Amino acid sequence: MESKIFINGLIAEKFGSEYVRNRTPYFWVEFIETKDLGIIHLPAYGSMHTYKIIDEKKWLLSKLKYNF
């Protein structure tokens, strides 16, 4: 199975202010998981904007909804 790893800084732009504003107890990794976008954050993969697709359909809907 092919790995679906990508870099996208727009995710942090869209959700960064919400993450900071809500003073969430989560780290960014857990925060992104709670958004249920069909992706997970890979913080130790080389870039702070590195993600992996875990659900193609959810990710497609998220890209359309949030204009990624």
CA distance 65 to 53: 16
**pLDDT mean by block of 10 residues, the chain; 68 residues:** 84 92 85 95 85 96 94
List the strands of the sheet with 5-7, edge to edge: 5-7, 50-53, 39-41
Taking Cα atoms as reference points, which of 19, 4, 1, 3 lies closest to residue 63?
4
Count of domains observed in the chain: 1
Query: What is the pLDDT, as a whole number, of residue 68?
Result: 86
Query: What is the pLDDT, as a whole number, of residue 58?
Result: 97
Q: Where in the sequence is the domain holding 28, given as residue range(s)?
A: 5-66
Whole-model pTM: value is: 0.84
